[in-house]
């Protein structure tokens, strides 16, 4: 491994040579290749036609097999190399390390063949020999080394495809200045002239330095008299445009060919948005009048991930940390990353803050549908009419793995301690989420330090209202309060990182110095990290999702022809009936809302208090004060006995409970202009609002909390452990009558039963023989079959903490922030009423019948919601009280009102109910694909019906993308009907909702966040699976006893493993089989995805 990487790291760490001793972790190469392909294509598309700029590929490390593999992924994911003007890369000789000289690496690692296939020229942007090292022991052989370098230069330029080699940090530092850290690469002017003598017009100098605006480097290159003709300097961000133009113009003035490279591994002012780099390139193109070569991406992209932050995977997992502890590596004990500064300790509710009141709301009913086949034998018949009684037991599961809390905040789709991915723009954050709107996006530990002039736009527009409205002293007081609460009601979280004096983005280099709340010196004037301390708690609060009680109403219900009665559910233990959920941003938004209210509510009376004044009279027993005093003391970690309180020697001021407060304005009172939303059957709420939110961690189980008791003793012994889902067994009785076509003779079932009953009256030893004589054959007419549909409706409920308080403060209450901006609600105003819309997320309902008596189970489906317009159980809606109304009125209405006329909200203001999609909407069915045309109307109809049942219906793309799905499936040899079934199941045919951030949808179920909004990558990802070795080996493994190879394929697709006992994977296999039938194919389920035999 060391032999492979030495070449990589010497070139990577030119800015920070001290890090040469540390190995660089290799990221997910497929991720880098895929995202870099998208990035480069984005630069090409956004840059458009250029007059003077020649675009080069990212500068690949031509000595790294890892970059070879990554390049292959770029090709696979459609990198448009053909649209570039050339390729670039870095190449060094280092026989002692790689056992290959430079040009050998270039050819034997396959770069020459790859580049030549495009017919594009190649610029070697870093070139040299690592034996020009800081180790003085090599200096004795200097002349021999120069001879080697002559040979290497001539070898490289014997290849007509390579048009230039730029020697890295080659100018003599003592004579010309430059990067002192890499002076060991320097050569004398005479040595340079000797090495490049055969063709100086293709040789150049890489400055290893950032553009400084002086334009001096090209002048120095010419002054060497060596004949060097190419020059390269480094640009760090959009703010360097003037310096870059100066450097390029200087090169042109000196008759040199300039090359522009962007950024280095540990810093970049460009975001991962290719449009930003493209805009820079267009500016440069317009400002110069001669040729300049520009690298359209990172230098050595496997190591420099600024254009592909989604691929910066980090080792982080949910742990249970006591309020007095900080997160540490469980093996080394060193401080470790936290999740995000607005949610540092998810699902680690160990602090003493009182949990807010819980508010209940129903979720979609679970609809368990079982088809029971009966014959007259199974019933009690009179003539041709039979009465049937079915006893059934069905195991149900409410899977909350994917359940998210919408509207209030999102720390998962922004840079955090797990990933550098920045999926949500600043505009989307403040427009879509309460937490981001109130806190602002600046001064967050995970973001860059906003200080340069080019940051003014962000500083002004994304700082949040509290930073603008609150006096500095008030802000300081709020932050000091958070410092005081450390170890009591909050963890001592990381608020900033430093790399030197100024703050820097946390977790990028993973070598930053963490700064915690307790360490920030608030009294220090102009301390840059003071403003990083949050105004409020960032702890989670507790909530729950519930299955039904042991029995529920109605006790008897008739659906269709079948009457359901005796409904009950058995749980193995009480904790199986509920799932503990962890709600982010509850304490935070409640406090921020109250703080914002305080800026305009002079009439809100202060809370009256009761004071315990020290010293208190001693008492040998319990204190003689009300329960609410005891509760306050317990909630704040204070002793409850007078003697113990006297030891503290402090006065304690306790707010009186609301019932004892004097009369005054009740700003939390909900006026009559607030109305409930429309609700359909099965708890289907019309107009619920959904966007991607923070994980509620419903999937946590006991194994996830291994360190809980190790760190906290038995403090949390009675903690309700999640099992990962709500699970139980439903018991039911189903009764119905059916009239068959023909009546029955005396030998029908009734006669048989009567005969057997009479046998009981005879001698015991003759009973068996007597009964056998009763089992006479039925006449043919009695073998008729009938299938009845049993529908069981199962209620589901959620309890959310603090929802009423947040609703009252932000929208519903008479003193709410919304009413301050919109004081008149009613006829003739902007809003005639306020609809109390809920938020929405999705859980997965699953059912598995384990016993039926009185008939035979032939089919089982799990659906959700309104029985008349159900949705698949995998897309069940779970609601959150009030959050949709907060989104519509507090976020959207207020921001629209405050924006200047003509200014939209950015990306979220696109056409309602639509999101962009990158399928080929202009495709026509290929000749081979035309046989599948009959599926078009079926798929569009299914997707339409499933879309209409969503509370925020949005738009599916069944019509627009149908041809693309069929064509690609046929081309890849995958059964198109199966691809359509997966598409419908996983996303309702790309059923995006009206919120653009909800466009982050896994169209074909490829569970990789980095392609969650990429239809093309999702489809390609799915179609590649059937031919992959992992899937084939699993599906065709005879030892696994799959029902068919596709059973193994779908099991692995769902769960990632290869376990035929995995019930979740097996249930998914059965689900896809049932949904296959929705296509009305009259076809057997395929044996494997590549089975094209039918249709």
Better pLDDT: 9 or 598: 598
CATH class of 2-13+25-311: alpha beta
CA distance 208 to 232: 8
Peptide bond into 554 cis (omega under 30): yes
SS3 assignment for 60-71: EECCCHHHHHHH
Span 573-627, pLDDT tens digits? 666 688 889 999 999 999 999 898 888 765 455 566 767 676 665 554 455 566 7
| Residue pair 582/349 in contact by the 8 Å Cβ criterion | yes
The helix (H) or strand (E) run that includes residue 466 is helix 465-469
**pLDDT average, residue stretch 799-817:** 91
Of the listed ranges 50-64, 157-171, 517-531, 972-986, the least confidently predicted one is: 517-531
Q: Provide the token pair at 212.
A: 């400084």
The helix (H) or strand (E) run that includes residue 1072 is helix 1063-1077
Q: Provide the token pair at 329.
A: 């590596």
CA distance 318 to 354: 22
Span 910-966, pLDDT tens digits? 333 456 788 888 788 888 888 898 888 888 888 877 655 454 556 788 888 999 999
The helix (H) or strand (E) run that includes residue 104 is helix 102-108
Q: Which residues contact 365 (CB under 8 A, 6 or more apart)?
A: 682, 683, 793, 794, 795, 796, 864, 865
SS3 assignment for 752-784: HHHHHHHHCCCCHHHHHHHHHHHCCCCCHHHHC
Span 327-378, pLDDT tens digits? 888 778 888 889 999 999 998 887 878 888 889 999 999 999 999 999 988 8
SS3 assignment for 925-975: CCHHHHHHCCHHHHHHHHHHHHHHCCCCCCECCHHHHHHHHHHHHHHHCCC
Q: End-to-end alpha-carbon separation of the chain, Å? A: 51
Q: Provide the token pair at 64.
A: 């790294």
Sign of CA dihedral 1016, 1017, 1022, 1028: positive
Q: Which residues contact 193 (CB under 8 A, 6 or more apart)?
A: 200, 225, 226, 227
Tell which phi-psi region holds residue 19, choosing left (phi > 0), alpha (psi between -120 and 50) or beta.
alpha
Helix axes 976-987, 1015-1024, angle to 10 degrees: 130
Nearest Cα residue to 254 out of 281, 289, 282, 215: 215
Domain spans of the chain, in order of start? 2-13+25-311, 404-540, 609-660, 911-1077
Sign of CA dihedral 515, 517, 522, 527: positive
- Give the β-pairing of 694-695 and 557-559: unpaired
Residue 187, pLDDT > 70, answer: yes
**pLDDT average, residue stretch 68-72:** 92
pLDDT at 1001: 75
Tell which phi-psi region holds residue 227, choosing left (phi > 0), alpha (psi between -120 and 50) or beta.
left
Q: Provide the token pair at 279.
A: 């805009």
CB atoms within 10 A of CB 853: 11
CA distance 531 to 547: 44
Better pLDDT: 999 or 475: 475
| Residue pair 150/158 in contact by the 8 Å Cβ criterion | no
Nearest Cα residue to 337 out of 505, 127, 151: 505
Where helices occur in 822-956 by DSSP H, the ranges are: 883-885, 894-898, 935-948
Number of residues that this document lists for the chain: 1095
Dihedral angle of Cα 853, 855, 861, 862, to the nearest 10 degrees: -30
pLDDT at 590: 94
Confidence of residue 638 (pLDDT cuts 50, 70, 90): confident
Span 714-761, pLDDT tens digits? 333 333 344 568 889 999 999 999 998 877 554 445 556 666 666 656
Peptide bond into 138 cis (omega under 30): no
Q: What is the pTM of this model?
A: 0.59
């Amino acid at each position: 491994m060391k032999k492979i990487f030495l070449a990589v790291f010497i070139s990577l760490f030119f800015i920070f040579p001290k890090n040469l001793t540390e190995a660089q972790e290799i990221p997910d190469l497929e991720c880098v290749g895929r995202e870099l392909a998208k990035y480069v294509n984005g630069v090409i598309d956004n840059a458009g036609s250029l007059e003077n700029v020649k675009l080069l590929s990212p500068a690949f490390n031509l000595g790294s097999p890892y970059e070879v593999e990554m390049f292959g992924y770029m090709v696979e994911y459609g990198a448009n190399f053909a649209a570039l003007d050339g390729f670039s890369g870095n190449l060094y000789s280092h026989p002692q390390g790689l056992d290959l000289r430079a040009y050998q690496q270039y050819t034997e690692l396959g770069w020459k063949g790859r580049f030549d296939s495009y017919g594009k020229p190649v610029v070697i942007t870093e070139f040299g020999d690592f034996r020009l090292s800081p180790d003085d022991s090599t200096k004795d052989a200097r002349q021999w080394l120069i001879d080697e370098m002559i040979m290497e230069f001539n070898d490289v330029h014997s290849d007509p495809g390579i048009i230039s080699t730029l020697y890295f940090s080659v100018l003599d530092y003592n004579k010309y200045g430059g990067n002192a850290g890499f002076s060991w690469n320097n050569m004398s002017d005479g040595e340079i002239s000797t090495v490049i003598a055969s063709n100086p017009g293709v040789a150049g100098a890489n400055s290893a330095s950032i553009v400084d605006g002086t334009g001096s480097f090209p002048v120095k290159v010419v002054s060497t008299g060596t004949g060097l003709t190419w020059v390269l300097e480094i640009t760090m961000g959009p703010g360097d445009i003037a310096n870059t133009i100066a450097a390029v113009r200087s090169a042109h003035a000196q008759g040199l060919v300039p090359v522009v490279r962007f950024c280095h591994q540990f810093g970049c002012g460009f975001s991962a948005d290719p449009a930003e780099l493209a805009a820079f390139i267009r500016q440069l193109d317009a400002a110069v009048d001669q040729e300049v070569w520009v690298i359209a991406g990172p230098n050595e992209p496997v190591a420099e991930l600024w254009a592909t932050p989604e691929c910066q995977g980090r080792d982080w997992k949910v742990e249970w940390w006591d309020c007095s502890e900080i997160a540490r590596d469980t093996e080394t004990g060193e401080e470790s990353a936290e999740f995000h500064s607005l949610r540092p300790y998810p699902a680690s509710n160990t602090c003493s803050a009182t949990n807010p009141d819980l508010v209940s709301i129903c979720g979609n009913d679970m609809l368990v549908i079982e088809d029971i086949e009966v014959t007259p034998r199974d019933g009690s018949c009179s003539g041709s009419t039979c009465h049937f009684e079915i006893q059934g037991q069905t195991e149900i599961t409410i899977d909350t793995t994917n359940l998210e809390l919408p509207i209030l905040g999102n720390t998962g789709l922004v840079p955090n301690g797990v990933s550098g991915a920045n999926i949500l723009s600043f505009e989307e954050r403040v427009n879509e989420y309460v937490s981001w709107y109130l806190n602002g996006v600046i001064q967050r530990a995970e973001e860059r330090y906003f200080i340069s002039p080019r940051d003014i736009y962000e500083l002004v527009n994304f700082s949040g209202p509290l930073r603008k409205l609150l006096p500095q002293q008030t802000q300081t007081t709020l932050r000091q309060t958070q410092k005081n609460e450390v170890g009591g009601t909050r963890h001592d979280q990381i608020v900033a990182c430093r790399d030197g004096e100024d703050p820097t983005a946390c977790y990028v280099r993973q070598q930053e110095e963490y700064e915690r709340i307790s360490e920030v010196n608030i009294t220090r004037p102009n301390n840059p990290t003071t403003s990083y301390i949050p105004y409020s708690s960032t702890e989670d609060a507790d909530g729950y999702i519930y299955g039904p009680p042991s029995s529920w109403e109605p006790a008897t219900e008739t659906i269709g022809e079948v009457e359901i009665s005796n409904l009950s559910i058995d749980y193995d233990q009480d904790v199986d009936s509920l799932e503990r959920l962890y709600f982010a941003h509850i304490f935070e938004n409640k406090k921020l809302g109250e703080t914002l209210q305080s800026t305009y509510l002079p009439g809100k009376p202060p809370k009256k208090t009761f004071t315990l004044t020290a010293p208190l009279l001693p008492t040998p027993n319990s204190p003689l004060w009300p329960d609410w005093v005891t509760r306050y003391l317990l909630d704040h970690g204070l002793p409850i006995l007078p003697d113990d309180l006297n030891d503290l020697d402090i006065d304690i001021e306790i707010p009186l409970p609301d019932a004892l407060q004097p009369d005054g304005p009740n700003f939390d009172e909900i006026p009559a202009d607030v109305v409930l939303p429309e609700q359909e059957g099965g708890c289907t709420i019309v107009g619920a609002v959904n966007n991607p939110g923070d994980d509620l961690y419903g999937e946590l189980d006991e194994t996830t909390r291994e360190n809980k008791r190790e760190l906290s003793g038995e403090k949390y012994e009675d903690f309700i452990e999640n099992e990962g889902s709500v699970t139980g067994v439903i018991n039911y009785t189903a009764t119905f009558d059916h009239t068959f076509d023909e009546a029955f003779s005396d030998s029908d079932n009734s006669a048989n039963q009567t005969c057997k009953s009479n046998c009981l009256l005879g001698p015991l030893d003759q009973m068996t023989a007597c009964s056998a004589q009763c089992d006479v054959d039925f006449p043919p007419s009695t073998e008729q079959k009938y299938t009845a549909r049993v529908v069981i409706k199962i209620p589901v409920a959620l309890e959310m903490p603090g929802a009423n308080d947040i609703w009252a403060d932000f929208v519903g209450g008479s003193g709410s922030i919304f009413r301050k901006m919109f004081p008149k609600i009613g006829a003739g105003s902007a809003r005639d009423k306020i609809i109390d819309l809920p938020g929405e997320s999705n859980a997965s309902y699953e059912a598995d019948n384990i016993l039926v008596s009185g008939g035979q189970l032939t089919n089982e489906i799990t659906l959700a919601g309104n029985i008349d317009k159900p949705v698949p159980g995998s897309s069940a809606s779970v609601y959150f009280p009030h959050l949709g109304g907060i989104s519509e009125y507090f976020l959207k209405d207020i921001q629209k009102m405050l924006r200047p006329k003509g200014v939209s909200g950015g990306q979220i203001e696109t056409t309602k109910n639509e999101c962009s999609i990158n399928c080929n909407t202009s495709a026509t069915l290929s000749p081979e694909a035309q046989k599948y045309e009959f599926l078009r109307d079926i798929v569009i109809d299914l997707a339409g019906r499933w879309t209409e049942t969503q509370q925020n219906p949005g738009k599916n793309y069944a019509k627009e993308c149908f041809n693309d799905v069929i064509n690609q499936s046929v081309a890849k040899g995958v059964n198109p009907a199966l691809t359509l079934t997966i598409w419908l199941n996983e996303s309702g045919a790309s059923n995006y909702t009206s919120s653009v951030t909800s466009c982050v949808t896994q169209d074909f179920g490829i569970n990789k966040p980095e392609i969650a909004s990429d239809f093309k990558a999702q489809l390609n990802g799915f179609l590649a699976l059937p031919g992959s070795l992992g899937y084939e080996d699993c599906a065709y493994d005879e030892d696994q006893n799959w029902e068919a190879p596709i059973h193994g394929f779908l099991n692995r697709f769902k769960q990632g493993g290869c376990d035929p006992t995995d019930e979740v994977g097996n249930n998914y296999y059965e689900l896809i089989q049932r949904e296959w039938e929705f296509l009305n194919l009259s076809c057997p389920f395929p044996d494997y995805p590549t089975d094209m035999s039918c249709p």
